[in-house]
A and B are shown apart, each in its own frame.
Chain A
Amino acid sequence: MTAMSRRITTEGRISAKEVAHVARLARLRLTDEELERFAEQLGAVLEHARDVEQLDTAGVPPTAHPLPLVNVLRDDAVVPCLDRDEVLAQAPEVEDDRFRVPRILGEAP
């Protein structure tokens, strides 16, 4: 089951290209030097994690949460909102009582 999607990178190495792709997903701009260094360091951590990666866990359910709670719900009752001035005072840029952002190239997926 996990074998299908499991891709063991060669010798725990991540290529600088993969690191660049991940950086893009995470909205981080890395210098070439950082790309190289992170590729090496992430490779080392994943190499250490090889024991976990290769462990046979067939039939073991994942634990997303250490707590056995279910159905934590609240009533549909209105509580006071924050004061708008207090909210907007924290913003880097505001216009017309809204948060202003630079032009957007590309829409929400």
Chain B
Amino acid sequence: MSTVDRDRPNPSTDPAWEIVIGLEVHCELRTATKLFCGCRNSFGEEPNTSVCPVCLGLPGSLPVLNRTAVDYAMRIGTALHCRVQPSQFHRKNYFYPDMPKDYQISQYDVPINADGWLDLPDGGRIGIIRAHLEEDTGKTTHVGGGGRIHDAAHSLVDYNRAGVPLVEIVSAPDIRSAEEARAYVDELRAILVATGASDGKMEEGSLRVDANVSVRPAGSTDFGTRCEIKNMNSLRSLGRAIEYEAARQMALISEGGTVAQETRHWDEGGGRTGSMRSKEEAYDYRYFPEPDLVPLEPSEDWVAAVATSLPRLPADRRAAVAEASGLPAGSDAVATVVRLGLDHLVDAVVSAAGPPDAPSVAVRRLANEVAADPEAAASLDPASFARLVGMEAGGALTAAQARTVLKAIMDRGGEPEAIASELGFEAMDVSDLEAVVEEIISAHPDEWSRFEAGEDKLTGFFIGKVKAATDGKADLKAASSILRNRR
């Protein structure tokens, strides 16, 4: 269980409150070099080996913008349905040792991407305010005091990461629960990976999430005072941090207190958020246009080329799978198939043009048996899979038999027809099946009269008997239609 105190309101269940969440996601771009210099953009190098006068902020050095970083940023913006627009870089001024120039080159009032949205698998839509380009900072290690900043004796700085290109994606405050926040990040990560702009690795820090959390009485349209929560390094900690912080704010307000607008740090071990500021310090970033860079005005051709080069995005792929299978786009099965990248197997089934419900059978098999073994799934032959699904949908194999054959194919490969006959799986002849059903009906006259009288739930009882009597070889779908017709 979470570490939320028992006596605090539980944010996920208390109907008197609403949580309002906006997320800021920093995404490192997969360029070969940094944003403003030709140093390698790579993770895990020896400290201070991927540095030059520009990314060390040496006197006299000047930034020159990386074309591929701009292209990736445009891909992200397009994938998030943003307006890709002329933009400008600004300097954000503040002193911190991980920032070599003591200002960050970022975008301010005119970001490269603005006003988009992201559709969640469950059908929800989250607004995207902006997705702008900026440079990353270096990495600070705290020495002594258990690695915690305030207790450390001193700190050490490595500038390899300084200047790595980032796109910062700022959502509208449209997210209403920790669960939805996780779904948003999950979906965003899938989109970022699909665009080719990011590797989506939260553990390596290439995706970092900050959450702006506030609470308000249910039904209110005003926003409460928000706190910005930092330092969540997994989807799990994101959810925990939001739940904790919302509960903290609710308890505070319930007790007559007020929430202070501040940045808070998620402590994974302690399961709590804590205030980050040790001193009263007003931030004033003194933004002004970066005079060392000229405006960025991507041509219409460039914007169009980016749009046409984007692969199909997860939401479109879910819609396609839903359409092919007749299952809802918001269903878990469809979402799973797309998340695991198994939709090409659905496509194969569709192309094979088998029985009408073959695609929906395919989605069920993919979301269950195939998804359970992602490694084997990767080497699954689309044609074999399509034939297997066709056999099941056409009644040549029962569901149970199809599952067994599928598992065999995934374990050791082979053709579905050969494996089925090897296992002695032959669908029972319809007249044989009818005879079995008749036998069972006469053996259970009471149940049959109740079923005849409309007690539908007894279908399961008879099907269970059929399954047992036929040793699993019966096509249970066929059996239930015999039962219905006989009634």
Contact = CB atoms under 8 A, between A and B. Distances in A.
Q: Are A and B in direct contact (Cβ within 8 Å)?
A: yes
Interface of A: 25, 27, 64-65, 67, 69-79, 81-82, 84, 87-88, 95-109
B106 interface: no
Contact of A71 (B56, B94, B297): B297
Interface string B293-305: 1111110000000
B39 A84 contact: no
Interface stretch (B43-51, B190-198, B318-326): B43-51
A108 B283 contact: no
Nearest to B299: A71
A75 B283 contact: no
B265 interface: yes
B65 A65 contact: no
Given A87-B56, A108-B137, A75 B67 contact: yes
Contact of B95 (A27, A81, A82, A107): A27
A93 to B, nearest CB: 9
Given A67-B294, A105-B279, A82 B51 contact: yes
Q: How large is the interface on B (under 10, 10 to 19, 20 to 34, 35 or more residues)?
A: 35 or more
B33 A72 contact: no
B310 interface: no
Contacts of A99: 48, 97, 156-159
Contacts of B289: 64-65
B263 interface: yes
A78 B33 contact: yes
B293 A81 contact: no
Q: B37, B96, B152, B156: which has the most chain A beta carbons within 10 Å? A: B156
A84 B160 CA distance: 11
Contacts of B52: 79, 81-82
A84 B70 contact: no
B154 A100 contact: yes
Given A81-B52, A98-B157, A101-B154, A72 B294 contact: yes
B291 A65 contact: yes
Nearest to B151: A103
A71 B296 contact: yes
B218 interface: no
11 contacts: A71-B298, A72-B64, A72-B293, A81-B50, A100-B155, A101-B154, A101-B157, A102-B155, A104-B140, A104-B149, A108-B98
A68 B296 CA distance: 12
A51 B150 CA distance: 48
Contacts of A104: 97, 140, 142, 149, 152, 155
A88 B48 contact: yes
Interface in B245-292: 263, 265, 276-279, 281, 283-284, 286, 289, 291
Nearest to B289: A64
B40 interface: yes
